[in-house]
Amino acid sequence: MNNDISKVLVTEQEIVQICKTLGGKITKDYQDKQPILIGLLKGCMPFMSDLSRQIDLKFDMAYMSVSSYHGGIASSGDVKIKMDLDISIKGRDVLIVEDIVDTANTIVTIVELFKHRGANSVKIVTLLDKPEGRLRPFEPEYVGRVIPKEFVVGYGLDYNEYYRNLPYVGVLKPEIYNH
């Protein structure tokens, strides 16, 4: 699996540090609140697991399965809810946990949906932000690392469902998706 990676962008050690830093900020900012962390599956899984253990607050967690890539390396723009939340978020302070914000198609759609459902506040924490990929304006409140416009995998991010279990974030060799 490691042979398919041309370059490591965010190392395991850097990810540990990012989770500590973001966890500390979130703990401070939500001191007087009881947020709900909502992870967007499947990509959020490792980040949500590591980040949540760095947040020193009483909070609950929920998951939603959303997909816009349907395999391949480009967003389809068509955001599908494959599994919805099993709780109401009316009046709640929602913190959405994402692995990456790229075109922002996914996150803009979900933020609008959560506001429509009556959330008190909706903020985003994302491990990676790829601002050059934007098709719609959007700025996440908490960002682990800004990355260039390259197709990355690992630590939750996939290519055709593979590589999510890499412990770091890396650039996939183009020959893997060009053949």
In whole angstroms, the minimum distance from the beta carbon of 130 to ligand PRP comes to 8
Residue nearest to ligand PRP (CB): 43
Which listed residue (60, 86, 99, 102) is catalytic?
A: 102
Which pair of structure tokens corresponds to residue 162?
Answer: 């593979």
β-bridge mates for residue 164, sequence order = none
Between 106 and 122, name the residue whose CB sits nearer to ligand PRP: 106
Q: Which of 105, 96, 114 is nearest to 70 (CA)?
A: 105
Between 33 and 138, name the residue whose CB sits nearer to ligand PRP: 138
Task: Yes or no: say if 99 and 143 are a contact pair by the CB < 8 Å rule.
Answer: no
∠ CA 27-30-44, nearest 5°, is 70
Residue count at the site for ligand PRP (CB under 6 A)? 20
CA distance 171 to 142: 23
Q: Does 100 bind ligand PRP (CB under 6 A)?
A: yes
Task: Find the length of the chain.
Answer: 179
Q: Show contacts with ligand PRP in window 32-91 (CB under 6 A).
A: 40-43, 66-69, 75
Active site residue 102: yes
In whole angstroms, the minimum distance from the beta carbon of 34 to ligand PRP comes to 25
**Which residues contact ligand PRP by CB under 6 A?**
40-43, 66-69, 75, 98-107, 158
Residues known to be catalytic: 102
